Chains A and B, each alone.
Chain A
Amino acid sequence: KQEVTQIPAALSVPEGENLVLNCSFTDSAIYNLQWFRQDPGKGLTSLLLIQSSQREQTSGRLNASLDKSSGRSTLYIAASQPGDSATYLCAVKEEVDSNYQLIWGAGTKLIIKP
């Protein structure tokens, strides 16, 4: 059974630093992996989606990588800003009984200190 783990559960860094969030998964037979951002009390915003055939995706200051063989993805945030403070979740999409599902990590709460 697929398991998705995000470590650490919380992270606090000073403004301006570059940082990396980690996501690991146990079964490499995935269709894609997606990173989301969630602000307190709100829904989710999709940040980056990496197809299983891709190695990375970039959007602005964000770069997400995918290594299926090792079961890992990283979300790199460059030059962090206080507005980046949020919970970041990763989810892998896989086929389950002829349908597909997203399997979620528990998230990493990121705090950027001004």
Chain B
Amino acid sequence: DVKVTQSSRYLVKRTGEKVFLECVQDMDHENMFWYRQDPGLGLRLIYFSYDVKMKEKGDIPEGYSVSREKKERFSLILESASTNQTSMYLCASSHGQFSYEQYFGPGTRLTVT
């Protein structure tokens, strides 16, 4: 079974703090993704990576950065957390390009106060 894990289930941070969200997958997938999910808006893609050290902006990259130093790990970084970044953050991974489904981690609910 594919396993995607995220470092924290719940996280509370203060405005201005630097926040790291970690995601690890154990299936040697090339592609990894970070989404945020807000009520009524569905999932919105923040960044994705199709290879080590490669990254592409998604729909809402502002205020975020990512790091992929190893194939199995994809980190989402909030350089200076703001209250409008309070959300559920979901990591996903997939194999190959077009035909394969994405597998999701359990999510991290981040609250910025």
Chain A residues engaging chain B, CB cutoff 8 angstroms? 4, 9, 31-32, 34, 36, 41-46, 49, 51, 89, 91, 93, 95, 99-102, 104-107
Determine the chain A residues whose CB is within 8 A of the CB of B61 once the complex forms.
Answer: none
Say yes or no for B8: interface residue by CB 8 A criterion. Answer: no
Q: Give the total number of A-B pairs whose CB atoms are below 8 A apart.
A: 55
A100/B42 contact (C-beta < 8 A), A43-B104, A44-B104 known: no
Is A42's CB under 8 angstroms from B58's CB?
no
Is B98's CB under 8 angstroms from A93's CB?
yes
Determine the chain A residues whose CB is within 8 A of the CB of B84 once the complex forms.
Answer: none
Q: Using a Cβ–Cβ cut-off of 8 Å, how many residues does chain B contribute to the interface with A?
A: 25
Say yes or no for B45: interface residue by CB 8 A criterion. Answer: yes
Per-residue CB contact flags for chain B residues 32-52 toward chain A (1 = under 8 Å, else 0) read: 010000001111110010100
A34/B102 contact (C-beta < 8 A), A41-B109, A91-B43 known: yes
